[in-house]
Amino acid sequence: MSDNRRQYRAIRDALTQGDPGEPPGRMARHLTPLAALISGMVASKSTQWPQVAAHVPNGPKPESRVQHCARWLDNERSVEERYFVPSAEIFLAH
């Protein structure tokens, strides 16, 4: 298993374990792209989309990974209070 995939799984597991109880269906589904985005930022040491996409372990092409993350961030259901703030609190606690 590559380091990027190991890191992605560790981040995804930390996000799911940090939530009290099992996250509901839609929220659990939204944690996957969030984990991929965080993993890509950590691995690339950058926030530039092409560098982040090159280090995300899933998806066929970096261009499609950029579009996937951009669509997820533009989605009005992906609000800061629901995903970003709790995730930041989890990682700051570690």
Name the average pLDDT for the chain: 76
How many domains are there within the chain? 1
- Contact (Cβ atoms closer than 8 angstroms) between residue 37 and residue 52: yes
> How far apart are the C-alpha atoms of 40 and 15, rounded to whole Å?
15
The whole-number pLDDT of residue 22 equals: 66
Segments forming the whole domain that contains residue 16: 3-93
- pLDDT above 80: residue 84: no
Determine whether 2 is exposed, middle or buried from the number of CB atoms within 10 Å of its CB (0-12, 13-18, 19+): exposed
What pLDDT band is residue 39 in, cutting at 50, 70 and 90? Answer: confident
> How far apart are the C-alpha atoms of 36 and 2, rounded to whole Å?
14
Tokens of 88: 């930041």
Give the SS3 label for residue 78: coil
Put simply, whether the predicted model's pTM sits higher than 0.85 gets the answer no
The whole-number pLDDT of residue 20 equals: 64
